[in-house]
Structure 1
Amino acid sequence: MLKAGALYFAIVMAFFIAVITASLIMLAAHFRTSYMKEMRYTRLLTNLNSGIAYLLADGDIPTPAKEIDLFNKQADSVLIERKNWGIYDLAVVKAHILGDTIGKVFFTGINTDKDLDVLYLSDEDRPISVSGKTQLTGNGVLPKAGIKQSYAEGKPYTGNKDMIDGKITSSNRTLKGLNSTMIKELELKFGANLKLLRVTNPAKLNVSFKDSTRTFILPAGTRVDGELTGNIILVSDSSVVISATAKLNNVQIYAHSVKVESGFSGKCQIFARDSIVVGDQVRFDYPSTLGVIRMAGAADQPSITFGNNLLFNGIVFSYEDKRSAMQTLISFGKGSRLNGEVYSTGLVKVQKGMFIAGKVSCNRFIMQTPVTLYENFLIDVVFNRKARSKYYLSSGLFEGQGKEKGVLEWLK
């Protein structure tokens, strides 16, 4: 017959064995859950990267969003969407399994590795003349009259004996066109139904690109001096002034005319109907855009005018559907540097010391000196296609270039 103490000991031991066994079962279940969660996250991440690759490869993804079953097993789905954000594409990719979802938002751009042109000048039956220390590095698409050395300001040409370090081919009477669909979308922003939108000048706002776009109407003569980041569009049917103290990050601005005060630094896309005037010592970070789009029948000369000591990273363009007597004008001040592209369906005005790391396309050059105004002369300027970063991505705005896309910037 067992003693009471032995029975008590057996019960205690059974209790501890039960606790340990239950703990082991719970621990095993926890590790299994964590393992399954980790496996599911890894699978989601793989699907997300597959969705990003699919979006970059497919140029016809519609808006609204499109659901894709990656392996046709009804188990791995990604949601992809692409829409224009100014002159770039805004892409959204989301992967989901059961209740778990991960996503990425980013801008896409066009790879320009195969576009080695430094200069495209429309054929107006006149050559391009170079003088002083002008350097042209890259391929040139030039008028049939070609390129020649000239005296200017009492100085001869002292650069490369071939005048352009690259291949030369013949240009057409007009520039390669711009993407008509994208131009129409930009024009629609100017003609938005302003009555349906809120009239305000936000002082500080940060809108994620994962959320809906916030659009604000600015009263005439508004001075933008706030801190605005992300998925924000500002529209005005009059003039807008961007203060030197304003902090803009990836926002879009549409107005009849825009003035950017001296000392401003930021990253944004600005579009105007009439003019954009930029002060001195201004910096635009990549990927920024400045563009003027001429209205049909407009009598004035649409223009973008930069002050001195500009640093611009991105794209500057002017557009008109048909060449007019008062062609559009892009004018650069002294000591300007641009990394990216300049496109003008009209004139580009430069001064001595101008440096462009990238490509310039226009109908005609104007060279301003203290004494004379020259046409189709380049004096002491540097245009260098090879100096542009290998990581630079262009916009789908430009026709006639490659269609290989890449991730331009990851967004929040």
Structure 2
Amino acid sequence: MLKAGALYFAVISAFLIAVICASLIMIAAYYRESYLRELRRVRLERNMDSSVAYVLKHQGPLGMDSVTLDLLGAETDSVSISNRYWGIFECPVISAFVSRDTIKKSFLIGMDTRMDTLALYLSDEDRPLSVSGDTRVKGDAQVPKSGMRKSYVENRPYSGYKLVYGKILESGRTLSPLSGDMIEALEKELDKDVSAMEVLPGQNMDVSFFGPEKVFSVPLAGEVTGELSGQVVLYSDTSVFITRAAKLNNVVVYAHSITVEEGFEGNCQLFARDSIIVGDKVVLHYPSVLGLVAKEKTVDQARILVGKDVSIAGMVFSYEPKRSALQTMISLSEKTRVEGEVYSTGLIKLGKEVSVEGKTSCNRFIMQTPTTLYENFLVDVTLNRRARDRHYLSSPLFEAKGQQKRILKWLN
């Protein structure tokens, strides 16, 4: 006959064995779930990489509507791609999902223009281009058939031993056109009715690119003073004044005229109908944009005026649909540095010691001294295509052959 202690020992042993077996089953289930989760994660990342490659290989702009793709045709690898313009860049948002697991990525698309070796393009208006002082053009140059020549300005000769440190080619009567689709998109944004928009609140905000964009009209005072980051768009049917206290990151602004206060530093895309005025010692980080899109009939000259000792990493451009008597003008004051592109369908006015590390295109250069206005003269300026960072990416606004899409910037 068994003692009661033996039965008690048997029950305890059975209980411990049950606990151990249950723990082993739970551990096995946990590791199985972790393994399956890791497989889904790897699969999602693979699908995301495939989707990014698909977007970058797609020729021309992607459709502006959201599309869902079954990558392998097995209805198990699905991605959703939505695309829109963010200023003058394409901005896709990609979602890859398997069951309830999803990963998202958003980025700006830029154009690889390393094959474009031009430092200077000057439309042929039957006028030669004159260089004087310490001017240097490094890279290829397309100039009028009448060519380039050395000249004296303020009793100073040209100090270089070559007119162009690269090839000299003949230019055409007009500039290379800008993207019609993108110009049309910019014009729609600039002509939007702001009356129904929410007025920009006083608090700071950071808006993710994975959700809906935040759209505001600028208050009647026209001042922007807060910290704005991410998917924020500001509109005004009059003027906007960006103070030096403002902190803008990835923000886009559309207005009739925009003024940036001296000492401001940030990253933004500014588009105007009439004028953009940038104060002295402003720093605009890559990929910032100053864009002037003038209407066909304007009373005053549409222009971009950039102050002294300004640093711009990005693009400065002006556009008008037809050449007017008062052509658009981009004015870069003394010691200003642009790393990127300067493009004007009209005039470019360069102060002394201006440096453009990239490409400069216009119909005509002008230079003002206390006594004389010079046309198609370059004096003490540097146009250096070779100095531009090899990782620099342009915008599809500037159409060119052989461009390749690349990821310009990841967004949150």
Structure 2 match to 1:400: 400
Q: Distance in 2 between matches of 1:75 and 1:233?
A: 37
Structure 2 match to 1:357: 357
Q: Distance in 2 between matches of 1:315 and 1:156?
A: 31
Structure 2 match to 1:83: 84
Q: Distance in 2 between matches of 1:192 and 1:265?
A: 27
Q: Distance in 2 between matches of 1:48 and 1:260?
A: 39
- Percent sequence identity is 50
Alpha-carbon offset, residue 358 of structure 1:
0.4
Q: Distance in 1 between matches of 2:308 and 2:216?
A: 31
Structure 2 match to 1:18: 18
Q: Distance in 2 between matches of 1:158 and 1:388?
A: 23
Contact 1:129 1:147 in 2 (8 A): yes
Q: Closer, same or farther in 2 for the Cα pair 1:201/1:293, shift >3 Å?
A: farther
Contact 2:218 2:224 in 1 (8 A): no
Q: Distance in 1 between matches of 2:327 and 2:202?
A: 35
Contact 2:236 2:255 in 1 (8 A): yes
Alpha-carbon offset, residue 201 of structure 1:
4.8
Gaps of 5+ in 2: none
The aligned amino acid for 2:66 is A
The aligned amino acid for 1:116 is T
After TM superposition, the score normalised by the length of structure 2 is 0.97
Q: Deviations over 1:95-153 (max 9, x none)?
A: 00000000001111101111111111000111111111211111111111111111112
Q: Deviations over 1:188-244 (max 9, x none)?
A: 112213233223454422211111111112244411111111111111111111111
Alpha-carbon offset, residue 166 of structure 1:
1.4
Contact 2:119 2:138 in 1 (8 A): yes
Contact 1:203 1:225 in 2 (8 A): no
Q: Distance in 1 between matches of 2:10 and 2:221?
A: 89
Alpha-carbon offset, residue 80 of structure 1:
1.0
Q: Distance in 2 between matches of 1:201 and 1:9?
A: 73
Alpha-carbon offset, residue 75 of structure 1:
0.6
Alpha-carbon offset, residue 296 of structure 1:
1.9
Q: Distance in 2 between matches of 1:127 and 1:201?
A: 53
After TM superposition, the score normalised by the length of structure 1 is 0.97
User: Is 1:149 matched up with 2:150?
Assistant: yes
Q: Distance in 1 between matches of 2:7 and 2:64?
A: 75
Q: Deviations over 1:17-76 (max 9, x none)?
A: 121111111111111111111111111111111111111111353122111111111110
Structure 2 match to 1:347: 347
Contact 1:221 1:238 in 2 (8 A): no
Which residues in structure 2 correspond to 1:222-261 (within 5 Å)?
222-261=222-261
Q: Closer, same or farther in 2 for the Cα pair 1:402/1:299, shift >3 Å?
A: farther
Once superposed, what is the RMSD of the aligned Cα atoms? 1.3
SS at match of 2:14: helix
Structure 2 match to 1:52: 52
User: Is 1:183 matched up with 2:183?
Assistant: yes
Alpha-carbon offset, residue 273 of structure 1:
0.8
Q: Deviations over 1:146-181 (max 9, x none)?
A: 11111112111111x331111222111110011111
Contact 1:338 1:357 in 2 (8 A): yes
How many aligned residue pairs are there? 411
Contact 1:201 1:218 in 2 (8 A): no
SS at match of 2:406: strand
Which residues in structure 2 correspond to 1:12-411 (within 5 Å)?
12-59=12-59, 60-159=61-160, 161-411=161-411
The aligned amino acid for 2:297 is G
Alpha-carbon offset, residue 346 of structure 1:
0.5
Per mean C-alpha deviation after superposition, the further-off stretch among 51-60 and 382-391 is 51-60
Gaps of 5+ in 1: none
Q: Distance in 1 between matches of 2:142 and 2:243?
A: 39
Contact 1:351 1:369 in 2 (8 A): no
